Amino acid sequence: MKYLKIFLALFLIAGNFVTVSLKPQKVTRTAFLLDTYISVTAYGKNAENAVDKAIDRVAEIDGLLSCFNPESEIFRLNENSYLKVSPETFDLISRAVELSKKTDGAFDITVKPIMDLWGFGSENQSTPEEDKLLKKLALVDYKNIILDKKEKSVSFKNKGMKIDLGGIAKGYAADCAAKVLKENGAENAYLDFGGNVVTIGKMPKGLLGIEKSRSFVIGIQDPLKERGEIFEKVTAKGENCAVVTSGSYERYFEENGEKYHHIIDPKTGKQPKNEILSVTVVSDSSETADALSTAFFVSGEEFAKTKKDLFKEVIIYKTSGEIIKITGEK
Ligand code: AMP
Ligand code: MG
């Protein structure tokens, strides 16, 4: 009996060892944060702890940046038109303003009063009346954000101005979560924050029966098909790879047979008229890719071609079905 027990114990240990050596540990956690479903997957022995810490970090960022949470810095800033903020929020707003400059204002976080008027996702979503739209449009201009570096305060030149980090926050958070994963020993990981994908390292061997580790492959949603149906694949290059998509199919409502989506041209307060269904940006920074995918959705492919220094690749899906690929220089 004693020998049988020892044999069984050895068998179980060996069994575990074999499982570990053939199949790397894989941990996935999902959460609803930043107004979207986020999922973090990491591989290896440190995966569990690393993934938990990464999710905690995203929850912390959500607490700072959500413009719907009365406790958040952004909510309080919007209410008071002035706030001393954390260095983290200050730096992100500063970089968002830089990205507005680089995109000639196609990306502009001061679109919030216009977003409120359209009311996407709320009970009051509808096409705004023209005079109301024009009034709110006068409040949209990133140049009227005042950043005091010394005091770490943000204020607005005009009363009624408000900011919305929805076009960059997911990208920023995915970069931060990736950093936390690495700091906690996860060498290979895959993060998906509602269309913002970041990969770290490679898909380890042993996974899905693969014999050698290999690059992650990211599928891009076909804007005209069911969720999960892809029209293109991007192979992740480099230690960190971000693939971010902005699409008109993500958030919209229908009125009198017309679809109205959530990406707004800051110059008109309306959906851009450029026949684009989705824009995907590949970069090593998910934050930059996030802002750029929103900006190029507004300003179109000709503009994107003048900004090749900012990205690795851009893939644009037009309403005609045409797919335009632009190779960047970054
Ligand atoms: P994304 O899905 O990253 O393209 O971001 C869309 C979200 O960003 C919207 O839901 C708005 O919160 C915000 N947004 C819409 N239009 C713009 C714009 N032109 N510039 C910056 N943020 C925008
Ligand atoms: Mg974006």
Closest listed ligand to the CA of 103: 1
Q: What is the pLDDT of residue 249?
A: 82
Q: Which residues make beta-bridge pairs with 207?
A: none
In total, the chain counts a number of residues equal to 330
Q: What is the pLDDT of residue 3?
A: 52
Q: Name the closest-CA residue to atom 15, ligand 1.
A: 263
For residue 173 the two structure tokens come to 């958070």
pLDDT greater than 50 at residue 19: no
Distance CA 291, CA 166 (A): 9
pLDDT greater than 70 at residue 102: yes
Q: What is the pLDDT of residue 210?
A: 76
pLDDT greater than 60 at residue 4: no
Burial of 221 (0-12, 13-18, 19+ CB in 10 A): buried
pLDDT tens-digit series, residues 59-72: 999 999 998 899 99
For residue 228 the two structure tokens come to 């999960």
Q: Name the closest-CA residue to atom 5, ligand 1.
A: 167
Total H helices, total E strands in the chain: 8, 15
Distance CA 313, CA 236 (A): 11
Among positive and negative, which fits the CA dihedral 89, 68, 246, 157?
A: negative
pLDDT tens-digit series, residues 270-327: 999 989 999 999 999 999 999 999 999 999 999 999 999 999 999 999 999 999 999 9
Q: Which residues make beta-bridge pairs with 281?
A: 244, 314
pLDDT greater than 50 at residue 12: no
Q: Do 132 and 117 form a contact (C-beta atoms < 8 A)? A: yes
Which residues, other chains included, contact 146 with Cβ-Cβ below 8 Å and sequence gap of 6+? 154, 155, 156, 157
> Half-sphere exposure of residue 71, counting CA atoms within 13 Å on the CB side?
5
First to last CA, the chain: 67
Q: What is the best residue among 161, 246, 294 to mutate for testing ligand 1's pocket, by most ligand atoms within 8 Å of CB?
A: 294
pLDDT greater than 60 at residue 228: yes
Closest listed ligand to the CA of 247: 1
Question: Closest ligand 1 atom to the C-alpha of 293?
Answer: 4
Distance CA 180, CA 194 (A): 19
Report the pocket of ligand 1 as residue ranges, CB < 6 Å: 107-109, 111, 115, 164, 166-167, 246, 250-251, 262-264, 266, 290, 293-294, 298
Decide: helix, strand or coil at residue 42.
strand
At 90, which helix (H) or strand (E)?
Answer: helix 87-102
Q: Provide, rounded to the nearest whole percent, the portion of the chain with pLDDT above 90.
A: 80
- CA proximity to 247, closest of 220, 271, 283, 223: 223
Decide: helix, strand or coil at residue 107.
coil
Mean pLDDT of 118-129: 91
| Mean pLDDT value across the chain | 92
Angle between helices 47-65 and 169-183 (to 10 degrees): 150
pLDDT greater than 80 at residue 235: yes
Q: Name the closest-CA residue to atom 18, ligand 1.
A: 107
Closest listed ligand to the CA of 113: 1
Exposed e or buried b for every residue in 57-92, given b needs 16+ CB within 10 A? Answer: bbeebbebbbbeeeebbbbebbeebebebeeebbeb
Q: What is the pLDDT of residue 276?
A: 96
pLDDT greater than 50 at residue 131: yes
pLDDT greater than 80 at residue 244: yes
Which residues, other chains included, contact 171 with Cβ-Cβ below 8 Å and sequence gap of 6+? 193, 196, 242, 244, 285, 286, 287, 288, 289, 290, 291
Q: Name the closest-CA residue to atom 8, ligand 1.
A: 167
Q: Hunting for tokens 């940046």 — which residue is that?
A: 65
pLDDT tens-digit series, residues 85-99: 999 999 999 999 999
Q: What is the pLDDT of residue 14?
A: 45
CA-CA-CA-CA torsion for 65, 69, 74, 75, nearest 10 degrees?
A: 170
Residue 174, CA distances (Å) to 57, 144, 195 in order: 10, 28, 11
Q: What is the best residue among 36, 97, 111 to mutate for testing ligand 1's pocket, by most ligand atoms within 8 Å of CB?
A: 111
Q: What confidence tier does 11 reach under pLDDT thresholds 50, 70, 90?
A: very low
